[in-house]
Structures are given as C-alpha cells and as structure tokens.
C-alpha cells in the first residue's frame, strides 16, 4: 500500500523533501500559498529524477503521485509523515502545528526542517506535542542522506522509533540527537567554520574563492568520507587518537582562530575522546584505515574528474599537461601507443581484477586518442562532425589488477571514406591482456547520418592506415565469439 507524505512549505528544503519521498514511492501532497509553488517544486523534482536514480544499482520504487492543495487541512489527509518547512519564525511554526493537528492523523509523525529551534520550543501551544520531532535535513534533501532527528522531552518514544524507520526506508541516515541544543550538531559545526571564514575575509586575509579552495582541495575531501575524528585518528599514526591530542592539543591555546572559547583538554576529556575513537575505529589498524581513506579519496576525486569540477578539474588539467599536445608519431612503422596508464582502484570488481566494462573504457579511450591524433579534436566536433562506434569486439586474455600499468597499442586497419577500423592490443610489459576491435563511422552531428570526414582528417587516417598495412594482420582481427562443439 502506497504511503502518503504531506509537505508544508514548498521552498528549497520542502521541494527536496517532496522529491525524496516521491522518488521513493510515496504519494506526496503539498501545501504552499505561493503561486509559483508547483513550478518550483516541479523543477526540483526534475533535478531529482535526473540525479537520484543514478545513486542506485537497482530500480527505485515506482514513483508516487504529486499533488498540490489549497489548504493545510486538505494536504494532510491520509498522511503518515508531515514535514513542516515553513520560514524560521517560531510563532509561525507554532501556528502551523495548531492547524495541522486539528486535521491530521493522531499517529502521524510531524517533522520540522528547522535548522535552529529545539523541539521543546516547537512544542509550545501544540495540541499533541508527542507527535512533533525535529527532522533537519541538508540540501539537496533528495541526495544527501543526513537528517538530524531530535525528539523533545514530550515526544513519544514510539514516534521517534517510527520516524527512524520511515527515514531509513527512504534512504536517509537519521542521526538521533538525544539532547536538545540550539542548531543541533551539524549546523553548529558549520557555523564555527562560517564565523572563522567571515573573520578571514573581514581582516583581508583571504577571499571567498581562496576559502572555498582550502576546503574543496583539502580537508573537505577528507571530511566527506571519514569525518573529523576518524581523520584525526589517522593523523595520530599507530599511537591513535590519544597521541594526536597530545601532539596537537596545545595548539588550542594558540591564537590561530577568533574562536578561543574552547574546553580545557584535561585527562577526563582526553580519555572520553580516545575511548570513543577506539570504539569507532579501533577494530582497524592504522594501515587499514589509511588504505580505506585512500580508496575513498580516489573514488571521490575520480567522480569529480568526470564532472571536471574542483579537485577533479585540477587532475584533468594535470593529465593534459602530462599527455602533451596530440600529434602523430614520426615513426608509423609500428602500432601507435594510444593509452598508457595505471589501473585505478575503482576499476576492479568482486573478483579482485579489472571489471569487464573497464576494458571497453580503456579501448574507447584508445579510439578517442586515435581520433585526436587524426585531427578530430574539440573544435572539429564543435564544427558538427565526429566518429560514432558502430561495432566492437573484445577478447579478454589475461587478468589485470589495480595498480597495473597498461598500454594500448593501436593499429589502423582501414581509414578510407567514412570508416575508421581500429585494432587495439592491451599489454602490461610484454604480457597481452586483451584485444579490442572497433569499427567507427564518421557522422554529421546535425543530421546524425554518416558523412565524409574533412580532407585533413581523411589524409591523416590514410597516412597511418597505409603505413600500418605493412604490419602483420593482428591475431584475432575479424573474429567473432568462438563456440567449440
């Protein structure tokens, strides 16, 4: 049976909640008095449809129904979860709860997206305060899993349990905060960084871009996969967290920051931190933690490379610097090396060797490099033409593991007319790992039909094909999958 969520307030956060519930199979009923609410939420949902399913390797539930309602009383009908995301004004929120509780089910969870108010403050004037919890998410709600779940003294334990179950079921991580505090946990940490950043700008020490670079090229990447304390545990080396505190703890008394109100690092606090860190990460050795960190960072950085953003853009620029300008080699009497690289950690599978799809990627990269060498560069493609792959045949000959340095040698079997026929050999030293045969067709990007390449590209391919015609026919060229009787 499809469950129903009511979203009260359709701004950025409310729209994100609507998208999260909707794509997880819930019916979503929205109340927002703004005449643009349907358009704005529709745009947020469109972004979620584009991105959220890509996080899953299985099909998401069938999408629920999205509807908009003129009154809160209508919006909450049948809702088992009600998410309040109205502006951060306490009297307004309390008034909203009074209206909601006149019309909603008594066993519905009412969650507030408030980033600052404590649940006890929200409970004032509520008819049934036991229904109300803080459920503070982070933007974009449909992608980031954290939601700070803060019950108050009057919140029913059964409501807290139900809230955890629902939030977990829609793919979120409910962080159960057991003590009320202004701004909860995450925003207090963000606020500390924000305050220091404002001082750095105010004092003329750094610009906004320089501060963002300090985060996105450095500690932000570490925090993204290990947080603060696990990162510092590694910094403590084999001696762990206690050694880190002993080494760097005195810095808290130095005037490095405007935020000088810090607790005394006495034995009690040190023991508390060290014991909690042992419970959190003590099952792993420092070397295991380092390898996990490295694997995670490689995955994050390679994802950023694919988007050509932040540290990923930096890596792409470095790749281009190392590779140099693509030019045909002077010696065409042998196959052309089109790929030379180490196999990254995220290219391996559950068998511990390179995933079969990555063989295709390596050979695809080799074909792309051959196109570049022939003159099919970004300007050429922007001019309206390119090569499309029409057929591929890959033979898997030997295993490849992470860290192995491979090279792909490419032989041009044919480069006449609209066709580019390539044969790739993947090697590690002298060991043959795989072969890939690719047939590409030159295509007009306007008509999406085959067409003749430019004279310059045609001449380059013909030059290589003529030289490579003197080479022996590669073993495996022209073959299909062999079936032995």
Q: Alpha helices, DSSP H only, in 262-401? A: 267-281, 286-307, 311-323, 356-374, 378-382
Give CA–CA dist 4/385, Å, rounded: 49
SS (HEC) of the chain: CCCEEEEECCCHHHHHHHHHHHHCCCEEEEECCCCCHHHHHHHHHHHHHHHHHHHCCCCCCCCCCEEEECCHHHHCCCCCEEEECCCCCHHHHHHHHHHHHHHCCCCCEEEECCCCCCHHHHHCCCCCHHHEEEEEECCCCCCCCEEEEECCCCCCHHHHHHHHHHHHHCCCEEEECCCCCCCCCHHHHHHHHHHHHHHHHHCCCCCHHHHHHHHHHHHHHHHHHHCCHHHHHHHCHHHCHHHHHHHHHHHHHCCCCCCCCCCCCCHHHHHHHHHHHHHHHCCCCHHHHHHHHHHHHHHHHHHHHHHCCCHHHHHHHHHHHHHCCCCCCCCCCCCEEEEEEECCHHHECCCCCECHHHHHHHHHHHHHHHHHHHCCCHHHHHCCEEEEEEEEEEEECCCCCCCCEEEEEEEEEECCCCEEEEEEEEEECCEEEEEEEEEEEEEECCCCCECCCCHHHHHHHHHHHHHHCCCCCCCCCCCCCCCCC
Whether the CB-CB separation of 383 and 446 falls below 8 Å is answered with no
Q: Which of 156, 2, 19, 24 is nearest to 79 (CA)?
A: 2
Q: How far is CA 67 from the centre of its chain?
A: 29
Residue 167 — very low, low, confident or very high, per pLDDT cuts 50/70/90? very high
pLDDT tens figures, 187-212: 999 998 998 898 889 889 999 899 99
Give CA–CA dist 118/365, Å, rounded: 54
- Is the bond leading into 140 cis (omega within 30 degrees of zero)? yes
pLDDT tens figures, 54-91: 888 888 999 999 999 999 999 999 999 999 999 999 99
pLDDT at residue number 483: 59
Name 395's Cβ contacts closer than 8 Å, sequence gap at least 6.
434, 435, 436, 476, 479
Identify the H or E element spanning 43. helix 37-51
Give CA–CA dist 40/46, Å, rounded: 10
Mean pLDDT of 412-434: 96
pTM, full prediction: 0.81
Q: What Rg do the C-alpha atoms of the chain give, in angstroms?
A: 29
Residue 332 — very low, low, confident or very high, per pLDDT cuts 50/70/90? very high
Taking 90 as the threshold, does the pLDDT of residue 237 lie above it? no
pLDDT at residue number 249: 75
Tell how strand 146-150 and strand 385-396 pair up. unpaired
Of 104-108, 246-250, 412-416, give the lowest mean pLDDT range.
246-250
Q: Which residue has the higher pLDDT, 287 or 471?
A: 471
Give CA–CA dist 222/231, Å, rounded: 7
SS (HEC) of 185-210: CHHHHHHHHHHHHHHHHHCCCCCHHH
pLDDT tens figures, 147-158: 999 999 999 999
Give CA–CA dist 330/323, Å, rounded: 17
Does 25 appear as a known binding residue?
A: no
* Torsion angles phi and psi, residue 423, rounded to 5: -125, 120
- Structural domains in the chain? 4-176 (3.40.50.720), 186-291 (1.10.1040.10), 325-468 (3.10.129.10)
Q: What percent of the chain has pLDDT over 70?
A: 98
Does 10 appear as a known binding residue?
A: yes
Instruction: Tokens for 135, please give them.
Output: 């459920």
pLDDT at residue number 109: 98
The mean pLDDT of the chain is 92
Of 21-25, 133-137, 159-163, 402-406, give the lowest mean pLDDT range.
402-406
Give CA–CA dist 278/270, Å, rounded: 12
pLDDT tens figures, 17-34: 999 999 999 999 999 999
Sign of the dihedral defined by the CA atoms of residues 267, 270, 274, 280, in that order: positive
Does 9 appear as a known binding residue?
A: yes
pLDDT tens figures, 356-391: 999 999 999 999 999 999 999 999 999 999 999 999
pLDDT at residue number 465: 96
pLDDT at residue number 390: 96
Residue 484 — very low, low, confident or very high, per pLDDT cuts 50/70/90? low
Residue 450 — very low, low, confident or very high, per pLDDT cuts 50/70/90? very high
Does 11 appear as a known binding residue?
A: yes
Does 270 appear as a known binding residue?
A: no
pLDDT tens figures, 239-288: 888 888 877 777 766 676 777 777 788 889 888 888 989 899 988 888 88
Give CA–CA dist 159/290, Å, rounded: 40
Largest CA distance in the chain: 89
| SS3 call for 429 | coil
Whether the CB-CB separation of 20 and 141 falls below 8 Å is answered with yes
* Torsion angles phi and psi, residue 110, rounded to 5: -110, 110
Does 96 appear as a known binding residue?
A: no
pLDDT tens figures, 393-408: 999 999 999 889 999 9
Q: How far is CA 122 from the centre of its chain?
A: 34
Burial class (CB in 10 A: 0-12, 13-18, 19+), 23: buried
């Amino acid at each position: 049976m499809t469950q129903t969520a009511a979203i009260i307030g359709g701004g950025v956060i409310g729209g994100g909640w609507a998208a999260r519930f909707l794509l997880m199979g819930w019916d979503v009923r929205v109340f927002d008095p703004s005449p643009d609410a349907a358009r704005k939420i529709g745009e947020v949902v469109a972004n979620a449809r584009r991105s959220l399913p890509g996080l899953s390797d299985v099909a998401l539930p069938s999408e629920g129904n999205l509807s908009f309602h003129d009154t809160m009383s209508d919006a909450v009908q049948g809702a088992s979860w009600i998410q309040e995301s109205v502006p951060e004004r306490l009297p307004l929120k309390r008034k909203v709860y009074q209206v909601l509780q006149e019309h909603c089910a008594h066993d519905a969870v009412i969650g507030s997206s408030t980033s600052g108010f404590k649940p006890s403050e929200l409970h004032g004037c509520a008819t049934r305060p036991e229904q109300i919890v803080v459920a503070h998410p982070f933007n974009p709600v449909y992608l980031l899993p954290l939601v700070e779940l803060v019950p108050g003294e009057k919140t029913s334990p059964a409501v807290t349990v139900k809230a955890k179950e629902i939030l977990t079921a829609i793919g979120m991580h409910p962080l159960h905060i057991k003590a009320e505090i202004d701004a909860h946990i995450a925003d207090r940490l963000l606020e500390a960084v924000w305050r220091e950043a404002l001082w750095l700008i105010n004092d003329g020490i750094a610009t906004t871009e320089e501060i963002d670079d300090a985060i996105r090229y450095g500690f932000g990447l570490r925090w993204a996969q290990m947080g603060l304390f696990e990162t510092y545990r590694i910094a403590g080396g084999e001696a762990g967290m206690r050694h880190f505190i002993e080494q760097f703890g005195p810095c808290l008394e130095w005037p490095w920051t405007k935020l000088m109100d810090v607790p005394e690092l006495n034995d009690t606090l040190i023991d508390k931190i060290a014991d909690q860190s042992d419970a959190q990460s003590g099952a792993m050795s420092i070397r295991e933690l380092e390898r996990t960190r490295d694997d995670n960072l490689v995955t994050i950085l390679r994802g950023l490379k694919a988007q050509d953003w932040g540290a990923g853009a930096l890596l792409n620029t470095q790749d281009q610097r190392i590779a140099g300008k693509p030019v045909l080699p002077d010696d065409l009497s042998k196959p052309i090396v089109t790929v030379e690289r180490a196999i990254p950690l995220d290219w391996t599978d559950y068998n511990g060797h390179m995933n079969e799809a990555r063989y295709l990627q390596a050979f695809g990269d080799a074909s792309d490099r051959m196109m570049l060498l022939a003159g099919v560069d970004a300007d050429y493609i922007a001019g309206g033409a390119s090569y499309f792959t029409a057929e591929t045949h890959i033979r898997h000959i030997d295993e490849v593991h992470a860290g192995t340095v491979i090279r792909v040698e490419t032989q041009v079997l044919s480069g006449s007319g609209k066709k580019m026929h390539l044969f790739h050999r993947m090697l590690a030293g002298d060991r043959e790992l795989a072969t890939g045969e690719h047939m590409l067709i030159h295509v007009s990007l306007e008509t999406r039909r085959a067409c003749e390449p430019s004279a310059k590209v045609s001449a380059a391919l013909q030059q290589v094909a003529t030289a490579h015609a003197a080479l022996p026919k590669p073993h495996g060229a022209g073959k299909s999958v062999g079936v032995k009787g």
